[in-house]
Amino acid sequence: MKKWIWTLALVCTLGIAALAAGMHSKAQARPDDTILEGVYAGEISLSGMTREEARTAVQSYVDSLGSSSIVLHVMDGNTVSVTAAELGLGWGNPDLVEDAVNLGKTGNVVVRYKALKDLEHQNKVYDIAFSFDKEAIASVVENKCDAFNVEAVDAHLKRVDGSFVIEEGQTGIVVDNTASENAIYEYLTTQWKGGDGAVDLAVTEEVPKGNAEELSKVKDVLGTFTTSFSSSGRDRSANVTNGCNLINGATILPGETFSTYEAVSPFTESNGYYMAGSYLNGQVVDSIGGGICQVSTTLYNAVLKSELQVDERHNHSMIVGYVKPSMDAAIAESAGKDFKFTNNTGYPIYIEGYTSNKNITFTIYGVETRDPGHVVTYESEVLETIQPNSESIVQTTSQPIGFVEVQSAHIGYKARLWKVVTENGVEVSREQINSSSYKMVPRTATVGVATNDSNAYNEMQAAIATGSIDHVKSIAAALKSGQSTTPPADGMDPALAAILAGKTPEEQAALIQQYNEQLAQQQQQTGQ
């Protein structure tokens, strides 16, 4: 028994010694920082390479694949060809280099010996993993594939020579961006091995709404309304006509909501608009599309008469002249104002809009289901009138002495609108539809004060201090013609002249205002 144990121990000792000797001879064959013979990354031999050499070799290989063509099959035989680089190709497992360097050099004796023996019989091949940028994929789909989208066209009506014509709908085919991005990413990260490839994108069909049967029923006038823009200039008139044309012909199916802002925007020259007057912060200013609110207001009243569901309506900041208070509907991009309504009739409706002799008219057609004796009218009730009791003068250094621009006063109102329904001549209901508040804005003058003439500047400041726009206009006219209305500086209060000396025009204005206020107080106290 003892002899057998000693024999076994001797064999084990000799085996370990032989193993160690073998590993020592292998280790002497290569430095510790180089990769052993027979080690590959994909088809790239890493044998004898250092870490940096291996990284460079694999990275160069991955970079070379960036020019590979990936064909995206969109729809109806349409394709888009992009490169792997455009899809954000990268090297997904750079840690394989460290594994390759450490092969046969780390771990216990048995592990290292096995690795070396395995290399004597077959190569060790590490798979190269590829990474792709999801944001790059999304950008490719959005920018290169969306162009093939064919939006569905709902069945709709056209009015030709006073009669309705039905236009059939068209099925839409749209790229499903999210599903397509996922399909591309899945293919590239699980199936693609480099080189050219192809992916089928996900598409969906959009079924058009509406049909000839329901559209053929549209023939009745539900409501119509007209406003005049006879006092409008050329550009405002053009804006009203353009906005009307953009709405004309709209077919709204049951349950659909119509946004006036979406229908008439954007407010650009390319969309047919011009600069014209509009309300902004209590002032009338020129803006692209000025006058468009008369379009939305006229449509609002046609909608009311049709008894459609009003979802959003806003009054103007100041009163308008083409409808009574609370009968207006303003739209404004900057203020987030829109006029929206929903077709709640159960049948399609059609909006006809036209301008003639500086009148704008909207007529809404549909299927009349109301009793012939049912009549709806709207009454404007003014609750409060706020008269301007002063004038406002605004100075500007952007205009020269002599410039005066006057804007008329606007009376302030508080009002509300009533819906009155009669059946066969008998009033059956009276309902408040909205309430509106319009700003009172005093008569306002913008006065230019830019000048190098201190005497002229002082004269204008004295005129402004009176608070009278008409007086300012007369002084401005005289100064513009080169005439002085007050004695020169040597006729000024010497104390005031000394104070003003060397001051800027802005500083002089403030000092003159203080002087005039003090003078007025003194006169009031002395009874003068």
Domain parsing of the chain, residue ranges:
2-67+94-127, 148-211, 217-369, 444-525
Question: Quick check: 173 and 203 in contact, CB under 8 A?
Answer: yes
User: Residue 369's Cα: distance from chain center in Å?
Assistant: 40
| Tens digits of pLDDT across the chain (528 residues) | 444 444 444 444 444 444 444 444 444 434 578 999 999 999 999 999 999 999 999 999 999 999 999 999 988 788 999 999 999 999 999 999 999 999 999 889 998 999 899 999 999 999 999 999 999 999 999 999 888 888 888 889 989 988 899 888 888 889 999 999 999 999 999 999 889 999 999 998 888 888 889 999 999 999 999 999 999 999 999 999 999 999 999 999 999 999 999 999 999 999 999 999 888 766 778 889 999 999 999 999 999 999 999 999 999 999 999 999 999 999 998 889 999 999 999 999 999 999 999 999 999 999 999 999 999 999 999 999 999 988 999 999 999 999 999 988 899 999 999 999 999 999 999 999 999 999 999 999 999 999 888 888 998 999 899 889 998 998 898 888 875 544 444 445 555 565 666 666 566 666 666 666 665 565 555 444
Residue with tokens 């006036």: 260
Rounded to a whole number of angstroms, the CA Rg of the chain reads 42
The type of residue at 370 is R
pLDDT tens per residue, range 358-384: 999 999 999 999 999 999 999 999 999
pLDDT tens per residue, range 302-347: 999 999 999 999 999 999 999 999 999 999 988 899 999 999 999 9
User: Residue 472's Cα: distance from chain center in Å?
Assistant: 44
Q: Report which DSSP code applies to 144.
A: I
Which residues fall within 8 angstroms of residue 166, CB to CB, at 6 or more apart?
155, 156, 157, 212, 215, 216
Tokens encoding 486: 């007050």
Range list of β-strands (E), 186-298? 197-200, 203-206, 220-228, 251-252, 257-259, 275-280, 283-288
Question: Quick check: 465 and 508 in contact, CB under 8 A?
Answer: no
Question: Distance (Å, rounded) from C-alpha 165 to C-alpha 156?
Answer: 9
Q: Does residue 348 have a cis peptide bond before it, meaning omega lies within 30 degrees of 0? A: no
Question: Distance (Å, rounded) from C-alpha 381 to C-alpha 383?
Answer: 6
Say what the pLDDT of residue 249 is. 95
Report the SS3 class of residue 362.
strand
